[in-house]
Amino acid sequence: MAGLGSLPTARRGQNAVLRRAAAPYSDQYPYTGAKLDGKAGTGKGGVQVPAPGDTKHYYQDPPPGAYRGPCPGLNTLANHGFLSRDGITTYTEMVAGLQNVYNVDFATAVALTMLGFVFDGDPISEMISIGGDATLITGQDGNFTGEYGGVSKHGTFELDVSLTRNDFYLTGDSHSFNGTLFAMMLETAKNTSSASNPLFDFNAMALYRSQQYDRARVENPWLYFPELALHNYGAATFLYEAFPSSAKNNTPDLETISSFFGAVQLEDGTWGHVGERPPPNWHNRVVPMTLADVTGGIDALYAAYPKDFGANLGGEWFSLNQTYTPSTNPSRKRQAPSAGDDSLVCGAYGEILETALAAPQPYAMYGFVLEKAGPVFAPYNCSFPGLPTSIAGLANS
């Protein structure tokens, strides 16, 4: 086996130079109280982000070589140093950043972060790229357990029928902002609210998601739209659940949404792109965002314009003949029998555990999930027939 000395120096150099780490939190600027320790904050929102004077969390353009991807929410966090500005972040940075910036409640922050990790992150170094594949940076010499694609990787968390990103098939780039798509989303918002004050609210997002699906059915001859694509309905809820400012009556208006998407209108009327950030004087939600907000939103957005799950095979539609079971329905697969928030948390936890089993090194990923998320979800008493709750159980299953 080759010794460390024979490893390419460029690779070791990348490790040393790129990873910067998030700006630490201070008592002076506590936000919602989460620290870089993987634990819960206070959940007390209505906080201005970035806090005036907290220069460490002010906007900066991504540094050279930084990773950015399809998620405006994560790109914003990195542009403000809540995640490492190079876009190579950690489990603890993400759990804290989601709580402190968007006032995501603790269990929900853990669930969203873990979902990202089981699809695209490295369970040993506990790092994830918010953009493309950075395995050689997120992994460590002598400790590469798999190729981890990062948040941009298509076919994991990133799927067809997005809001402002192309389907992968069309250009091979499903992570970059597309101004034409943003303009179409804006047009829909104008039609569902008003041209003078377009709102990216539930009505706009439900209709726009429907339009995007219909368009993809025609334009993408290899469209793939399994039930998993419902995740993208979750992302659509963030426009009216996470981005609006509580200092502006939680209104998902154009100023707010364009700022978080980094969308700027050019002289010719088209939309270009700059670094994502909150608009000036932005305050986060007063009440934490829960899984119920997200999954309830998924159910309602889908129910407004139900779509067939399936795939285009060279332009011919092949239906998967699946009927959508709302996540609020207790008979949904993977859910604990209890109703309400508990069952939603258990539903998410079950999905995370199942997805971990498909990771390049399933035992490493499963152990990572049990270690980090296990204690957080333990109070919910989830039970998953057939899914082990320990590594020993995994070995015997």
| Sites of contact with ligand HEM (CB under 6 A) | 70-74, 94, 98, 102, 104, 112-113, 116, 151, 157-159, 162-165, 232, 235, 238-239, 242
348, 111 contact by CB (below 8 A)? yes
Please report how close the Cβ of residue 259 comes to ligand HEM at its closest, in angstroms.
12
Please report how close the Cβ of residue 238 comes to ligand HEM at its closest, in angstroms.
4
- Tell me the three state secondary structure of residue 89: strand
289, 73 contact by CB (below 8 A)? no
Phi/psi-derived region of residue 69, left when phi > 0, alpha when psi is between -120 and 50, beta in every other case: beta
| Rounded Cα distance, 365 and 359, in Å | 7
- Going by C-alpha positions, the residue among 134, 73, 158, 92 that lies closest to residue 373 is 92
Please report how close the Cβ of residue 222 comes to ligand HEM at its closest, in angstroms.
15
When the beta carbons of 254 and 394 are compared against ligand HEM, the nearer one is 254
45, 32 contact by CB (below 8 A)? yes
| Minimal CB distance residue for ligand HEM | 116
Residues 6+ apart with CB under 8 A from 245: 251, 256, 278, 279, 281, 282, 283, 284
361, 330 contact by CB (below 8 A)? no
Please report how close the Cβ of residue 144 comes to ligand HEM at its closest, in angstroms.
21
- Going by C-alpha positions, the residue among 316, 309, 304 that lies closest to residue 218 is 316
When the beta carbons of 353 and 394 are compared against ligand HEM, the nearer one is 353
When the beta carbons of 18 and 257 are compared against ligand HEM, the nearer one is 257
When the beta carbons of 78 and 124 are compared against ligand HEM, the nearer one is 78
- Tell me the three state secondary structure of residue 254: helix
When the beta carbons of 32 and 164 are compared against ligand HEM, the nearer one is 164
Hey, how many other C-beta atoms are within 10 angstroms of the C-beta on 358? 11
Dihedral (C-alpha) 109, 112, 118, 123: value to the nearest 10 degrees? -20
When the beta carbons of 164 and 335 are compared against ligand HEM, the nearer one is 164
When the beta carbons of 304 and 391 are compared against ligand HEM, the nearer one is 304
Please report how close the Cβ of residue 241 comes to ligand HEM at its closest, in angstroms.
8
Cα 185 vs. chain centroid, distance in angstroms? 19
When the beta carbons of 74 and 186 are compared against ligand HEM, the nearer one is 74
| Rounded Cα distance, 199 and 239, in Å | 10
Please report how close the Cβ of residue 35 comes to ligand HEM at its closest, in angstroms.
18
| Rounded Cα distance, 286 and 340, in Å | 22
Residue 17: enclosing H or E segment and its boundaries?
Answer: helix 9-18
Please report how close the Cβ of residue 206 comes to ligand HEM at its closest, in angstroms.
14
When the beta carbons of 114 and 370 are compared against ligand HEM, the nearer one is 114
When the beta carbons of 67 and 102 are compared against ligand HEM, the nearer one is 102
- Tell me the three state secondary structure of residue 312: strand
b/e map 211-243, b = 16+ CB within 10 Å? ebbeebbeebeebbbeeebbbbbbbbbbbbbbb
| Rounded Cα distance, 300 and 306, in Å | 10
Please report how close the Cβ of residue 216 comes to ligand HEM at its closest, in angstroms.
12
Please report how close the Cβ of residue 330 comes to ligand HEM at its closest, in angstroms.
26
Please report how close the Cβ of residue 13 comes to ligand HEM at its closest, in angstroms.
27
